[in-house]
Structure 1
Amino acid sequence: MQQPQQNTTSAKANTNTNTSEGPLAGIRVIDVSRVLAAPFCGQLLADMGADVIKVEGPNGDENRGWAPFNASGESCNFMSVNRGKRGITLNLKTERGREILYEMLAGADVLIHNYLPDVAEVLGIDETLFREKYPHLIVCGISAFGAKGDMRNRPGYDSLLQAFAGIMGFTGERDGQSVRSGVSFVDMTTGVFAYSAILSALMGRVRTGKGSNVRASLLETALGLLSYHGVSWLEAGVLPQKEGSGLWSQVPYQAFQCKDVELVTGALNDATWRRMCQAIGRLDLRDDPTLATNAQRLERRQEVIDIFAETFLQDTAANWTRKLGELGVPVAPMHTVAEALTHEQSLINGMVLNMTDQDGKAIRLLGVPFKVGDTASFARRPPPRLGEHTEHVLREYVSLSTADIAELREQGVI
């Protein structure tokens, strides 16, 4: 595992506040979280103009060591969720480290952490205490299995919660092994939910003048994302089934192999079904009264899929995409990540951000998946190097001198 290198030129590089622009300008956030979900929440706040301080232990966030690494030796995983932040090191296992954190919180609006409840208590991150000491503060705690119950202190990652919530159980080919989603959507969506909850708490504070405790978890996210699958079981006793690229409740709606590559298309209503049949030149299917509704097509599911599969093999994905698109049928070619991130539609919507790192090298990061006005991101700062802004931030938040900071380094506090 590649070990992160601590940057000791923090007072010289990238010490400016994130930006004077953005809807969250003036909001100060202390982010003591690690890995994906919670750091992504912090990045979204930074993208909207908040001044986010990334606090790491002396050895750094564990995902600094996760491959792959870019040309400068930085973890792409870490870079993906820490843009726009200032970074400091602070050993919260030491009494002095915790004292410094408490001093910083006096001038902060939001604290984000993802410590297990018992660990948070040991480190002094006590929501009840904070309510008394910092009544203005919004404390956002993100966990794996929720803040209550016997499992609250269990660690967890995206794949575990995909399994626990039942999602992985209906993901994969029919009669095949269960499959993890290729993206860490439980982690990332938890970050989005936490971001939304923090914004709600900030709005509440405008009205009441008081902060609040905000909680999110991978479990609650995964269960919430069951959406109609969950309600279908709760209300109708129907469990979702594995259908590969398809959907158990709709037909046709899946990936089909063309002469060259795959595409995904489908008819999620009966009017689209008729247009889809017309686009592929099968008017006999369009006019068949026994296939007129989705319920009827579900009864003959495999027959319908086989007909479409054989038909799509006769032409290229580009030609089928054009024919289907001309008649308003939803369709998308099966892209690689490279094809998706170089596609004009992705670029024109600001989903690739061009930035410059601390060494003046060009870096590219994913854009913000929502926009405020025409701005893709209000963040101007690249992901921080380990400890890059320690000296500057401690001067700003805690009024420490150069000698004080040097002593803290000798003591292993920062």
Structure 2
Amino acid sequence: MRSLRTAAVGGCALVLALGGTVPLAAQAGAEPCGHESPSSSGLGSGGSFDFLPDAPKDVLPDPGPGPTRTVAWVTGPRSDNRTDARFSVSGTDLAIMWDNGAAEPDRRILMAFGDTFGDCAAPGEEWRHNVLMRSADTDLTDGIDVPDPVPGDIHAGSPVDAHAPDFSRELVGALGIEGIEKTVIPTAGIAVGGVQYINFMSVRAWGDHGEWWTNASMIGTSVDNGETWHVDPATARLNVPLDIPGVQQLSMGNANFQQHAYVRHDGYLYDFGTPQGRFGAAFLSRVPEHLILDLTAYEYWTADGWIPGDVDRAVPIIPGTVGELSVHFTGDQFVMVYGNDVTGGIDLRTSPSPEGPWSEPRQIVARDRLGGIYAPFIHPWSTGNDLYFTASRWSDYNVMLLHTTVSG
């Protein structure tokens, strides 16, 4: 693998919780490492997984016949990155990726992860609600190289990191209280005009397989390449009836935009939304790139085409069940991948435009080959017919890189 310089980790910020923005501690209580928990079949926060630091690094699940293959572990003790020893990241998931938009030599892929565990023998198992890593690796044929962290990873004006370089810090905190705000999970990321944007969901509680309940989705911003983050409460799409001054009030349509997928095209940010959990359909909105934080500027794809401002009129562009969703523009078509909680696999669709028509789904990973795999996210430096994407697996609670072909 080839890498120009570094990866790094984020810092605490403010997050919407209980009707306001509050500063929160970096570590809260967590489910015990390696123990089954109610959240083990939901996204993030614990689960049943194995940390096997002495396992051969080439141990990867076999996707079986077809164009999809597993490339390498990205995180955990089985990865060449050894994130357990280097960043105190023994178990994590998601790896939502986007290009930071910088010119060379500062161009990077930023990767946002969900609930993260470090030393399972440490107090709280070193649980963090979310972390971020960076990579400049352009050769994905043997995995994603995550080098040693350098704060900010930008040549000019990098902030001084007062934290130990071998401990990845949280991007934003959460209360860590089941039934109120258990955790805050990233669902999409994008860079526009030198600013990094992440859409987070505030998870109120985990349920049974594929179920969780959210308070809201909201957008965080960073102007130092992901080093520090600020969550803007005015971007919250509330999913519970709270009366918060300056925040859009409860709307039925907000429920369809609790998780997101971002793609830029022709001056617009296209924002694909899905409800809480993994059983809903996919919806679509768009906004001029420079107005991403202004919810009043969004248009929604409806039965009558693009309609400004009325989230309640949005109609599905993909029927359920759509799990964690990722969308990529290859230069001549749009590609989406997502988890299908009915079949237990990962599906791929293509379309000439964000609103469709989208092709029928093609399964690129089957349940019986990679059991427990979820959350596919496309690497934005994928080109042509080659599609690289990350996915997480519960039995390992870590992230791997896979490769498939768009055309099948």
> After TM superposition, is the score higher than 0.5?
no
Q: TM-score range by the shorter chain?
A: under 0.3
Between Structure 1 and Structure 2, the one with more helix by share is 1
Which TM-score applies when normalising by structure 1?
Answer: 0.26
Between Structure 1 and Structure 2, the one with more strand by share is 2
Higher CA-based Rg:
1
Could you say which structure has the greater relative contact order, defined with CA pairs below 8 angstroms and 6 or more residues apart?
1
Which TM-score applies when normalising by structure 2?
Answer: 0.26
